[in-house]
Chain A
Amino acid sequence: MLSRQLGAGALRNAVSAPSFRLKNPLAAPRAFAQVRNASSASSSSPLESFLNSRITLVSVSLFTAGSVAWYTHLYGSLPFISQVHASHASDEGLHPPAYPWSHGGPLDTFDHASIRRGYQVYREVCAACHSLDRIAWRNLVGVSHTTDEVKAMAEEIEYQDGPNDQGEMFMRPGKLADYMPPPYANEEAARAGNAGALPPDLSLIVKARHGGPDYIFALLTGYVDAPAGVEVREGMNYNPFFPGGAIGMARVLFDGLVEFEDGTPATTSQMAKDVVTFLHWSAEPELDERKKNGIKAVILFSALTLISLYVKRFKWTPLKNRKILYDPPVDKTH
């Protein structure tokens, strides 16, 4: 009985109304058969012309291309299509694990005893090759050393100063205002002394490397023998955390290399942790103060947000709760 009512005009309703429902499910095949007959009978059916139109073809093609492009942009590659890479994932370097740093939490300061030990490690080990350009002696005062200690350390280094009355440069012992002495006079000397590899300046190295302190700790403690099949060239060392795997710096931290004055056992991981803490401080000396200001800012802005929310509700209460009545005009003609 339903199919009998379906004419050519009923098809338009079916296309334009997606919520069109058949009352009797069993009658559905017959109904659609009737529809197909009706549409093929009249060649200018709306569905036919819609399916065969160029606009439909173009828009479907654009939609498909857009979906593929969007997916590729989002996920990098298409599913079920295998890819061949010239590089291996290990060439990107291993992701370092997340270590529980003593200054890791949002409220935690640096462990300044660790900074002091880390400076000792830097001075006795790293400073042979790595400069620390942006740290002056005075920066250590009140952070890891007392003024007298830093003055004594600075005076051990000779700095060039001048010119004097005769117009000549002269050497003098270091002052608090002097910056950390570089191990090499210039970049070329540094490269020449390290088989062409430039030891980077360590002042901002924690900020400058992806992974930050975790990466540097993992790098310092991550030296292993190269796995089978990996060829490491002469003068290079294998480290899975270094992008590419081959690093110019050899493993430098070994158990008992330095002797800490506070009696901390100088294991490899202890020295690496301390020196990374020191380097993190040199990259972010403002961290302690910044976190304290952060506490204040969060408290104050939370309070102000709550107050503003309350004031908004308070002021809007009459507007939200009022009731608008329509008083129709009285027809005065009658």
Chain B
Amino acid sequence: MAISTTIYNTFFRRNSVFVATIFTGAFAFGIGFDTAVTTFYDRWNKGKQWKDIRDKYVQPADE
């Protein structure tokens, strides 16, 4: 009960805080979800993508 009361008082009591929480949460979830999927995707396709083989072809001069 105490936890739900705290959550209610923190996030739901004021509409401005509630809306800000939703927007911030959506933004953070978007970044986190994208990062997680990309990490999995790169691990699954290890060694196949251009960024994995790029080092073999880049000349040291343009680095």
Contact with A along B10-39 (1 / 0, CB 8 A): 000000000000000000000001100110
Q: Is the interface of B mostly helix, strand, loop or mixed?
A: helix
B residues 41-63 near A (Cβ < 8 Å) are 41, 44-45, 48-50, 52-54, 56-59, 62
**Chain A residues positioned under 8 Å from B38 (CB to CB):** 292
How big is chain B's contact interface, by range?
10 to 19
Interface residues on chain A, number (Cβ under 8 Å): 24
Judge whether B62 and A148 touch: CB under 8 Å. Answer: yes
Contact with B along A285-321 (1 / 0, CB 8 A): 0001001100110011000000000000000000000
Judge whether A112 and B41 touch: CB under 8 Å. Answer: no
**Chain B residues positioned under 8 Å from A116 (CB to CB):** 53
A291-B48 Cα distance, complex, nearest whole Å: 14
* With contact pairs A109-B45, A110-B48 given, residues A292 and B37 touching in the complex (Cβ less than 8 Å): yes
A154-B1 Cα distance, complex, nearest whole Å: 70
A residues 166-217 near B (Cβ < 8 Å) are none
B14 to chain A, nearest CB (A): 26
The answer to whether the Cβ of A144 comes within 8 Å of any Cβ in the partner chain is yes
A residues 136-178 near B (Cβ < 8 Å) are 142-146, 148-149
The answer to whether the Cβ of A102 comes within 8 Å of any Cβ in the partner chain is yes
Contact with B along A103-147 (1 / 0, CB 8 A): 000011111110010000000000000000000000000111110
**Chain B residues positioned under 8 Å from A110 (CB to CB):** 48
- The one of B34, B48, B62 in contact with A111, judged by C-beta atoms closer than 8 angstroms, is B48
**Chain A residues positioned under 8 Å from B45 (CB to CB):** 107-109
Considering the complex, give the chain A residue whose CB is closest to the CB of B54: A146
- The one of A109, A142, A148 in contact with B48, judged by C-beta atoms closer than 8 angstroms, is A109
Which of B41, B48, B62 has the most A CB atoms < 10 Å from its CB? Answer: B48
Judge whether A109 and B37 touch: CB under 8 Å. Answer: no
Judge whether B49 and A148 touch: CB under 8 Å. Answer: no
**Chain A residues positioned under 8 Å from B40 (CB to CB):** 295
* With contact pairs A112-B53, A149-B57 given, residues A102 and B48 touching in the complex (Cβ less than 8 Å): yes
**Chain B residues positioned under 8 Å from A300 (CB to CB):** 33
**Chain B residues positioned under 8 Å from A299 (CB to CB):** 33, 37
5 intermolecular pairs with C-beta atoms under 8 Å apart: A109-B45, A111-B48, A112-B52, A146-B58, A292-B41
9 A-B pairs with the lowest CB-CB distances in the bound complex, closest first: A109-B45, A112-B50, A111-B48, A113-B53, A292-B41, A146-B57, A109-B48, A296-B37, A107-B44
Given contacts A142-B50, A146-B54, A296-B33, 20 further A-B contacts (CB under 8 A): A107-B41, A107-B45, A109-B41, A112-B49, A112-B50, A143-B50, A146-B57, A146-B58, A146-B59, A146-B62, A148-B62, A149-B57, A291-B41, A292-B37, A295-B37, A295-B41, A296-B34, A299-B33, A299-B37, A300-B33
